Amino acid sequence: MNTQNSNFKFLLEQFDDIKIMRYQVPGFEQMSLEQKKLIYFLTQATLSGRDITFDQHYKYNLLIRKVLENIYTNYTEQKMNLVSENEFTQFSNYLKKVWFSNGIHHHNSTDKFPPNFSKKTWRILSEQYTGKSYRYPKNFDSLSLFIEDIIFNPQTAAKRVSQDSTGDLIKASAVNFYENIEQKEVEDYYHQQKKENDPCPVSYGLNSKLSKQNGKIIEQTYSTKGLYAPAIKEIVFWLRKASQVAENNNQKKAIDLLIRYYETGDLHIWDEYNIAWVNDLDSLIDFVNGFIEDYGDPLGMKATWESITNFKDLEATKRTSIISENAQWFENHSPIDNRYRKPVVKGVSAKAINVAMLGGDCFPTTPIGINLPNADWVRRDYGSKSVTIENITYAYDQASKASGFLEEFVLDKDEISLTRKYGSIASNLHTDLHECLGHGSGQLAEGTNPEALKNYASPLEEARADLFALYFLMDDKMQDLGLFENKNVAKAEYNSYIRNGLMSQLVRVKLGNPIEQAHMRNRQLVAAWCFEKGKTENVIEKFQKDGKTYVKINNYDKLRLLFGKLLKEVQRIKSEGDYETGKALIEDYAVKVNYDLHKEVLERFEKLNIAPYGGFINPSYIPIYEGETIVDVELVYEEDYCLQMIKYGNKYSFLDAE
């Protein structure tokens, strides 16, 4: 995995709380022409849905992006000089953030981010707009004033996804899955469709927008004939080409089913596709393309479009294969109640991959592991595919080496060298266990509603997978299987996990705000719960030196037992659908932040001048033609974030603004 070119520039630029990096694609050049063509066609499908994600995130995102891109291009191409340099930089940074978040809301907090340029600047710049004259609501005098309200008025579309369960979640969320409809009406609408005791329910509402017009509920499905048709047709165009060069029949079957699903919007075909996709284990090249994760919907039903084109990293896959081949051993030895153990763990496949292209909701910020499909019954009956993404993890590591972050939050020199030595393999193994085994482990009690945990389901599910990984990292089995030589690897992961959950992840939260993001809630839950439960035995210690707070683990074995104990409880909560206890765990441990510690962490972090969030630009793939025939595909590493975004805006924009 470290065969990548070390002179490669990983970190490209930084603005506000964001850093832009790039990744390498080792192994592409060694592929056969047919494989290169397949990658090329799939990457085009990955890029073609970009506008969908923008529009799903918020109704006016495309309008804003298109208007701002037009102004930005006019201003820079004609070297205009109408506002101060700083004001134009701030305007550009705002646009960079819109690209980064696929809209005007922060990708992580989902709060609308405020502009750092003035209204006066906006009025001057907006006069340079030369694009299409879009419609705007009657109560505004001009398009410019309408956009001004969206960008500058803190009340307008303040939050993309509200988690505040006391009010109407839909009213409080700017996300574009619902319009002019109340939460209760949506819940009733889908409740009526559900069949009692259906063992294989489709994912109701997954791929549609629900609205009310003249008192009638209208569901608009995403398909080549429905909502987002121009973009979906483009995706299908490239999928057809991919189907023609598929590596084998299983892969071809999956691609063809995905095409049919996109043409019909039929969720039964979506399930068929997922089953075919899970069954395709032999292909080198693989991809994710569809409406998949529901984190963006306050009701957890509707999915945001995302895509990743990838291929197996053969060396690293040896590691994940060992883990997945032993899935049943792990399941049998998991410290959970016997009733909630899976008697037979099916088809836990795992591999390490390198991404070739990121798209939609996976771009520019990307996951480092994926476990799909999401439908519980498909996982139960057919298993799931689980991947860790090698080249992205590697790029993160390379980009962050010299930041000083570790030295700021760790006092102990041995702990620092432990992390430097084992941190990378430790975190890869954690991700492997989390994705290959953690999410797939355990089972529901009979009659438990899989949606019983509602808005607390995501952080609890992530905690379950993390705890599974943490518990087994310290197990002798890891050495028996030859996954690492000594337990220092596990210690390195315990150190960084607890430090992160109790302290360092707070750099991503604004002072005074609670923790909202599911993965962050999960990490604080695990760390804070173990800290409190281990207090009498001083398992984890918080101490001060020179006015700075540090965290130290005093007893790794006892910490491991605490991980096991919490895993047992979280599994019970999931298996029984115990909403009240799940809610209490999250609210008591995962949400609130100690103000003084938070302030201290932010001050220490600020001095380091590192952006807490990272994202990537993509390489591009250039087909070389002889006549009509592709004879090679060239991999080109791009190096300019703005150029790539403007290019995507021109080349892969298939939807019009409202």
Catalog residues that contact Zn ion under the rule CB under 5 A. Answer: 462, 465
For residue 274 the two structure tokens come to 């997922």
**227 Cβ neighbours under 8 A, 6+ residues apart:** 208, 209, 220, 221
How far apart are alpha carbons 276 and 90 in whole angstroms? 48
User: Smallest gap, in angstroms, from Cβ of residue 247 to Zn ion?
Assistant: 28
**262 Cβ neighbours under 8 A, 6+ residues apart:** 223, 224, 232, 235, 236, 239
Dihedral sign for Cα atoms in the order 224, 46, 285, 330: negative
CA neighbor of 467 nearest in space, from 329, 572, 592: 572
Instruction: Give 38 or 303: the residue with its C-beta nearer to Zn ion.
Output: 303
How far apart are alpha carbons 589 and 585 in whole angstroms? 6
User: Smallest gap, in angstroms, from Cβ of residue 504 to Zn ion?
Assistant: 20
* Count of positions (residues) in the chain: 658
How far apart are alpha carbons 128 and 357 in whole angstroms? 34
Dihedral sign for Cα atoms in the order 108, 109, 111, 117: negative
The H-or-E segment that residue 621 falls in is strand 620-626
Instruction: Give 462 or 569: the residue with its C-beta nearer to Zn ion.
Output: 462
SS3 category, 396 = helix
User: Smallest gap, in angstroms, from Cβ of residue 478 to Zn ion?
Assistant: 20
Instruction: Give 67 or 469: the residue with its C-beta nearer to Zn ion.
Output: 469
CA neighbor of 284 nearest in space, from 321, 251, 333: 251
Instruction: Give 440 or 619: the residue with its C-beta nearer to Zn ion.
Output: 440
The edge-to-edge listing of strands for the beta sheet with 369-372 is 285-293, 304-312, 348-360, 384-389, 369-372
Q: Which residue of this chain has its Cβ atom nearest to Zn ion in the complex?
A: 465
Q: Cis bond leading into 623, ω under 30°?
A: no
User: Smallest gap, in angstroms, from Cβ of residue 439 to Zn ion?
Assistant: 6
Instruction: Give 366 or 618: the residue with its C-beta nearer to Zn ion.
Output: 366
User: Smallest gap, in angstroms, from Cβ of residue 399 to Zn ion?
Assistant: 23
User: Smallest gap, in angstroms, from Cβ of residue 209 to Zn ion?
Assistant: 27
CA neighbor of 516 nearest in space, from 362, 368, 295: 295
For residue 546 the two structure tokens come to 């020179």
CB-facing half-sphere around the CA of 158: CA atoms within 13 A: 8
Dihedral sign for Cα atoms in the order 138, 142, 147, 149: negative
User: Smallest gap, in angstroms, from Cβ of residue 310 to Zn ion?
Assistant: 17
Return the DSSP state at 113: P
First to last CA, the chain: 45
SS3 category, 30 = coil
User: Smallest gap, in angstroms, from Cβ of residue 458 to Zn ion?
Assistant: 9
SS3 category, 190 = helix
Report how far apart, in Å, the C-alpha atoms of 83 and of each of 114, 119, 151, 394, 554 are: 19, 12, 18, 41, 57
How far apart are alpha carbons 248 and 34 in whole angstroms? 12
Instruction: Give 440 or 614: the residue with its C-beta nearer to Zn ion.
Output: 440
Instruction: Give 71 or 465: the residue with its C-beta nearer to Zn ion.
Output: 465
Instruction: Evaluate whether 494 touches 583 at the Cβ level (below 8 Å).
Output: no
Instruction: Give 465 or 570: the residue with its C-beta nearer to Zn ion.
Output: 465
User: Smallest gap, in angstroms, from Cβ of residue 517 to Zn ion?
Assistant: 13
User: Smallest gap, in angstroms, from Cβ of residue 597 to Zn ion?
Assistant: 26
Instruction: Give 209 or 430: the residue with its C-beta nearer to Zn ion.
Output: 430
Residue keyed to tokens 């991700």: 431
Residue keyed to tokens 């995302």: 306
For residue 76 the two structure tokens come to 């820079």
User: Smallest gap, in angstroms, from Cβ of residue 444 to Zn ion?
Assistant: 18
Amino acid at 605: F
Instruction: Give 11 or 436: the residue with its C-beta nearer to Zn ion.
Output: 436
User: Smallest gap, in angstroms, from Cβ of residue 462 to Zn ion?
Assistant: 5
Instruction: Give 65 or 464: the residue with its C-beta nearer to Zn ion.
Output: 464
User: Smallest gap, in angstroms, from Cβ of residue 493 to Zn ion?
Assistant: 16
Instruction: Evaluate whether 39 touches 31 at the Cβ level (below 8 Å).
Output: yes
How far apart are alpha carbons 434 and 58 in whole angstroms? 32
How far apart are alpha carbons 59 and 80 in whole angstroms? 31
The H-or-E segment that residue 211 falls in is strand 208-213
CB-facing half-sphere around the CA of 152: CA atoms within 13 A: 15
User: Smallest gap, in angstroms, from Cβ of residue 320 to Zn ion?
Assistant: 15
Instruction: Give 399 or 465: the residue with its C-beta nearer to Zn ion.
Output: 465
User: Smallest gap, in angstroms, from Cβ of residue 441 to Zn ion?
Assistant: 12
Instruction: Give 436 or 559: the residue with its C-beta nearer to Zn ion.
Output: 436
User: Smallest gap, in angstroms, from Cβ of residue 454 to Zn ion?
Assistant: 18
Instruction: Evaluate whether 375 touches 350 at the Cβ level (below 8 Å).
Output: no
Instruction: Give 406 or 444: the residue with its C-beta nearer to Zn ion.
Output: 444
User: Smallest gap, in angstroms, from Cβ of residue 369 to Zn ion?
Assistant: 7
The H-or-E segment that residue 352 falls in is strand 348-360
How far apart are alpha carbons 140 and 482 in whole angstroms? 67
